[in-house]
Structure 1
């Protein structure tokens, strides 16, 4: 089922209200335009049929008027020949045709009114369609503008994040350098204090042992001299 069910629905429609109520205005405006274009095709097709009917009725009117004029001429001829009876019969035929002329003329008048109404409706529908397309264009431009602004903002945020990450990486590299410098200052100083003391004690003990051996050797030498 279409958005609009009759021509008057389209002409009297409030497009803005329809769009305000729609969950997806862009989809709604596309459907409205499609409905209007389809209806416009139907109305123009109907107008073409009515115009064709008018042309046929106009040809018929010309034909019956010619027949009426012909019977009148025949009536005149009969009168001139003294045949009033034939003249009366001819005028009866003319009268019958005159009634048909009246019917065809009324038909033409109604057809002209119908065509005029269709022309007005087509004009109003065309205006509605133009308005709808203008709204669609404005909506597309607005959507494009909003999308462009969002893209720019995202780009700005991305650049800001990239800059922040770069600054953070630079800070990390600087901290790594400082930590490396600090570690280099501690090279050779990472031997546990107790172990260093033990090694020093061993060195001291070795010197004492050497000194002790020296003294023993000297004392042995002196003892040997005394025994002689």
Structure 2
């Protein structure tokens, strides 16, 4: 094989490969349907022309039949007039028109059969085009669905890359660091630029509240004297007082629970005092 033949084959193969890669199924299908529609238009023109020829032959057949009848009428009229020679000439002309009638009748019959075949072929072509349109829509829908699935698969394949998840983790750590630095800055800002006196009073209020809770718990457990209640002012008239109902002594379980709660409050109070001392 010569070098030019190999070069021509190489160019042809590259062109075919390029054309195959550049083919878009949707565009190709639209073009095929467009070409079929153009063919249908041309076929309709041909069928219309054939129908026109059929009608023309039918009119010529009718005209020649009318001419034959007219010459026959003239021959009869010549016979009535006693002119046989003229009648023979009229009959000769009638035979000419009869021959044309036979010819046009045969042509009209053939043309009519051809028109019927063309109409049938035209209907079949139209049905094929409609079927092609429906198939085109189905194929285009399948193509779009396949492209969507391919895009999803490519996206999922890209998500499988660990670098993307590592980037998310790294950004999450960086955001945590930024939040911690912001909280630390706010704490330092409050510690060194805030109102120290107000802070001390706030701690004092917390300790006072803890002391009150501790005293109340001790009184509940019977470890501290009850809170003194101011005696109400009695009216002048003597009132009959009901006998006081003795308060039942707490059970051993309740005493244990109260002791545990007391220890917890004392521990919280110690922690508050340590925080205040810093």
With structure 1 as the length reference, what TM-score do the two structures score?
0.58
The separation in 2 between residues aligned to 1:28 and 1:116, in whole angstroms, is 33
Question: Which position in structure 2 is the counterpart of 1:169?
Answer: 171
Question: Which position in structure 2 is the counterpart of 1:132?
Answer: 132
Given the superposition, is the C-alpha separation of residues 173 and 67 from structure 1 closer, same or farther in structure 2, using an over 3 Å criterion? closer
When you count helix as a share of all residues, which structure comes out higher? 1
Given the superposition, is the C-alpha separation of residues 164 and 144 from structure 1 closer, same or farther in structure 2, using an over 3 Å criterion? farther
How does 1:199-210 map onto structure 2 within 5 Å? none
How does 1:21-100 map onto structure 2 within 5 Å? 24=23, 25-100=25-100
Given the superposition, is the C-alpha separation of residues 171 and 157 from structure 1 closer, same or farther in structure 2, using an over 3 Å criterion? farther
Superimposed CA distance per residue, residues 16-59 of structure 1 (whole angstroms, 9 cap, x where no aligned partner): xxxxxx76443432332222112111111111212222222222
The offset of 1:78, in angstroms, is 1.7
The offset of 1:115, in angstroms, is 0.9
The offset of 1:137, in angstroms, is 0.2
The separation in 1 between residues aligned to 2:143 and 2:87, in whole angstroms, is 82
Superimposed CA distance per residue, residues 130-181 of structure 1 (whole angstroms, 9 cap, x where no aligned partner): 1221121011111222334445556777889877643332234557869xx9
Between Structure 1 and Structure 2, how many residues are aligned? 158
The separation in 2 between residues aligned to 1:28 and 1:154, in whole angstroms, is 26
The offset of 1:99, in angstroms, is 0.4
User: Structure 1 residues 122-131 or 153-162, which shifts more?
Assistant: 153-162
Aligned-pair RMSD on alpha carbons? Answer: 3.2
The separation in 2 between residues aligned to 1:85 and 1:173, in whole angstroms, is 126
Question: Which position in structure 2 is the counterpart of 1:18?
Answer: none
The separation in 2 between residues aligned to 1:173 and 1:45, in whole angstroms, is 75
Question: Which position in structure 1 is the counterpart of 2:102?
Answer: 102
Given the superposition, is the C-alpha separation of residues 126 and 69 from structure 1 closer, same or farther in structure 2, using an over 3 Å criterion? same
The separation in 2 between residues aligned to 1:109 and 1:130, in whole angstroms, is 32
The separation in 1 between residues aligned to 2:34 and 2:81, in whole angstroms, is 71
The offset of 1:123, in angstroms, is 1.4
The separation in 1 between residues aligned to 2:43 and 2:176, in whole angstroms, is 79
Given the superposition, is the C-alpha separation of residues 116 and 98 from structure 1 closer, same or farther in structure 2, using an over 3 Å criterion? same
The separation in 2 between residues aligned to 1:147 and 1:28, in whole angstroms, is 16
Superimposed CA distance per residue, residues 187-226 of structure 1 (whole angstroms, 9 cap, x where no aligned partner): xxxxxxxxxxxxxxxxxxxxxxxxxxxxxxxxxxxxxxxx
How does 1:141-156 map onto structure 2 within 5 Å? 141-150=141-150
The offset of 1:71, in angstroms, is 0.8
